[in-house]
Amino acid sequence: MSFGKVIPLNTGVVIPQIGLGTWLSKPNEVENAVEIAVRNGYRHLDLAMVYRNQDEVGRALRKVIPSVVSREQLFITSKLWNSSHQPQVVEAELDETLKQLGLSYLDLYLIHWPAAFVPGSGLLPVKSDEEVHLDTETSLVDTWNAMIKLLDTGKVKAIGVSNFTIAQIQGIIDATGVVPAVNQIEAHPLLPQDGLVAYCKEKGIHITAYSPLGNNLVGIPMLTENVVIQEVANRLGATPAQVLVAWGVYRGYSVIPKSVQESRIISNFKQAELSEEDYKEVSSIGIGNVRRYNIPVTYKPKWNINVFDEEIEKSATAQVKIA
């Protein structure tokens, strides 16, 4: 079983350290995955409007609440999508998420990306040139102010961000005085982002790690196939996935590995513990070998915006509008 550890957020509520991710799960797989996860001890579920599977999650929740858990025992995160960054539609998208899930509140609601799309044309409004139609007028501060107002509705317990850089976070704090509870980021041994991690720690912002095993978006091997990871796993009597989850735990993150296979859902929740030597060995695979798997400018359709200032993004025509 999991060690059952929970981590306090700057709001006073606690987040379970291991959760189930639902990104890149195929239709008709998530309902079963969520039910299996909750029946096997998971209490933290990570969701989003753009994953297009929240209705399935809702069906699973009806199977386990209240027979297996009470609503209050679960920590449920969802995310505001880019096509609803405009302040006047922020609450409407939250309401749609709650309707899909069959819930009256979320424990945490995040701005999914620091990029706005034009509203009213679906989740991925595409221009004629096969690029996503960006809204370059709505700022992150505009959206963050609308998120802050949600706290007074009782529909969200905490608010945060996802895929935000130091400058983007500092910009919304400077403008509003409200510090995000969480920054959810891609985090694994090839992408330690030590500067961002140190900044978030200083500000009291908790980090949730997505894609802790890497991902298969770009056609390169998953980190579970790395020889060093496999050697550490063999030494600990653990799976490579457990080692990668443990790396994030060692760094203080909450970690949300995604799987739809029952054996892996259960196994990912059985925590291994890294010694300092184990941790350094796992971390060594990223030295001189930094890789970010998830960069929107590489998507199809392309987002022509520089989010992270990675080399591949330097030619993007749009910059993130912070304020």
* The CATH classification of domain 6-319, taken from the options 3.20.20.100, 3.40.605.10, 3.90.320.10, 3.20.20.70: 3.20.20.100
Q: State which H helix or E strand residue 255 sits in.
A: strand 254-255
Tokens describing residue 270: 């059985």
Residues of the chain with pLDDT under 50: none
Domain locations in the chain as residue ranges: 6-319
Q: What is the DSSP string of 140-191?
A: HHHHHHHHHHHGGGTSBS-EEEES--HHHHHHHHHHHS---SEEEEE-BTTB
pLDDT value of residue 220? 83
pLDDT value of residue 1? 67
Give catalytic residues, as residue numbers: 51
Identify whether the C-beta of residue 323 lies closer than 8 Å to the C-beta of residue 142.
no
pTM strictly above 0.75: yes
What's the rounded Cα separation, in Å, for the pair 60 and 260? 13
What's the rounded Cα separation, in Å, for the pair 249 and 234? 19
Q: Which residues are annotated as a binding site for substrate?
A: 112
